[in-house]
Amino acid sequence: MAKVFVITGPSGVGKGTLIRALFDRIPALELSVSATTRPPRPGEQNGVAYHFLSREQFEQRVDDGDFVEHAEYSGNHYGTLRSELESRVSEGVPVVLEIEVQGARQVREKMPEAVQLFIAPPSRETLRTRLVGRGTDTPEQVLRRLETADAELEAQPEFPHVVVNDRLEDAIEELVAVVQAELASAA
């Protein structure tokens, strides 16, 4: 069975940037493309950034048991589809899930063998600066994401691996080291 890596942490912490760097360094990894009811941001392609679903479609797939985990975040639904995970895991392809904390907890219950990593900001202020600077959210959405981030930061001690994203290069090295060590132990 291949390894499953769950990478979580508050919105704005730089999970996306770190994960892109991780894929450059370890090309054997594949990303599980999540489903969401959030509208696409400019440039986000359906099936690549996310599987974009209507609320009705999402709820139908919940009822059909298609999700490994799903959660509501900042007014939208997000979830990991079984179809993104199962075939890869059985074929021996290591998979990365980039999900929020409630989803990470559900995966911990269902797949305790998954490797769970938490990406932490050096401070709350850096999160706010990054969320505002990214320009993808309205001021109200930024506030909402920051409130959620406070709750998510409290979950940090639940995670066996914590990477602080202060200097990007250092955080990448740390993340790569954890993933490589886990892959080597599975081999």
For binding to ligand 5GP (CB under 6 A), which residues are involved? Answer: 11, 15, 34, 38, 69, 71, 73, 78-80, 98-100, 102-103
Minimum separation from the CB atom of position 85 to ligand 5GP (A) = 10
Q: Which residue is nearest to ligand 5GP (CB)?
A: 103
Nearer Cβ to ligand 5GP, position 48 or 186? 48
CB atoms within 10 A of CB 132: 13
**Rounded distance, CA 148 to CA 11, Å?**
8
Give CA 174 to chain center in angstroms.
17
Minimum separation from the CB atom of position 184 to ligand 5GP (A) = 26
Minimum separation from the CB atom of position 25 to ligand 5GP (A) = 20
Nearer Cβ to ligand 5GP, position 35 or 184? 35
Q: N- to C-terminal Cα distance for the chain?
A: 10
User: And the tokens for 27?
Assistant: 């090309």
Nearer Cβ to ligand 5GP, position 6 or 172? 6
DSSP tag of 158? G
Minimum separation from the CB atom of position 122 to ligand 5GP (A) = 18
Number of H helices, E strands in the chain: 7, 9
User: And the tokens for 159?
Assistant: 């995670």
